[in-house]
Amino acid sequence: MANSRSRSIPAAAPGRAPWWWPKHKILILTGMALILAVSTVIIVTCIILSPAHIHFSITAANSTNSTMDGENGLSFNFTLAVDNPSRRAGVDYREVIVSLQLPSKRLKNNSVPATVNGSMPLYQSRHSQISMAVAAFVEKDLLDLYLKKFYRGHPTLTIMVTALVRFKVGVAYSRLYDITVYCPPFVFFDVFQDGNFSYHFAKGNANCSA
């Protein structure tokens, strides 16, 4: 009678796949490990380069009656202060756009562009404050139209700030962010003198928010 012999499968060496595993399973596991590693790097990078919370405020707001290109009006001047409280990220300002908004939808042109003094791009280091001088000219005809035809009560003006920024951590830059904030309405008033109305904005400071 023939003797039956059993054949055992040799155990794989520690840390190595058995020789009888299909090769495609090894490739799948290798691919999954690679995807996990890449995902981890992306997540960590996104956390590091996440946007810092920067704070905008208006300081030293004032106005004067003036003339520009033969048009009478009001020159509105203020300082745009920016606080970067982050201890890990600097801010690279690519562009800063400021406009004055007259809160009346019935006005055809209720937005007045302002001029931000200073060259761009502008870099703000970690945990620091910077400031920019801003000036805008509002024509008297627009103020008259706003006050006499479209507004009742206390006339106000809102400042809108849009900043295009990148955040820098070490030598790495984040993607470009578009940040828009609105500053609380500033009250302005008219004073009758010498037979004419003279417009003035109330002096003061204001914190801005998104």
**Whether residue 137 sits in one domain with residue 43:** no
Whether 9 is in a domain gets the answer no
Q: pLDDT tens digits, residue range 177-208?
A: 999 999 888 776 655 445 455 556 666 678 88
**Whether residue 106 sits in one domain with residue 33:** no
Whether 199 is in a domain gets the answer yes
Residue 120 identity (one-letter amino acid)? M
**Whether residue 194 sits in one domain with residue 124:** yes
Whether 8 is in a domain gets the answer no
- In angstroms, rounded to a whole number, what is the distance separating the alpha carbons of residues 66 and 79? 19
Average pLDDT of the segment spanning 7-32: 60
Q: pLDDT tens digits, residue range 51-107?
A: 568 999 998 888 888 888 888 888 889 999 999 998 888 999 999 999 998 876 666
**Whether residue 70 sits in one domain with residue 33:** no
**Whether residue 104 sits in one domain with residue 33:** no
**Whether residue 44 sits in one domain with residue 65:** no
Position 139 pLDDT exceeds 70: yes
**Whether residue 127 sits in one domain with residue 29:** no
Q: What whole-number percentage of the chain has pLDDT above 70?
A: 62
Per the CB < 8 A criterion, the answer to whether 52 and 90 are in contact is no
What domain count does the chain have?
Answer: 2
**Whether residue 59 sits in one domain with residue 129:** yes
What pairing do the DSSP bridges indicate for beta strands 71-84 and 90-101? Answer: unpaired
Q: What whole-number percentage of the chain has pLDDT above 90?
A: 29
Range of the domain at 141: 55-207
Q: pLDDT tens digits, residue range 72-82?
A: 888 889 999 99
Position 17 pLDDT exceeds 70: no
**Whether residue 166 sits in one domain with residue 65:** yes
Question: Whole-prediction pTM value?
Answer: 0.70
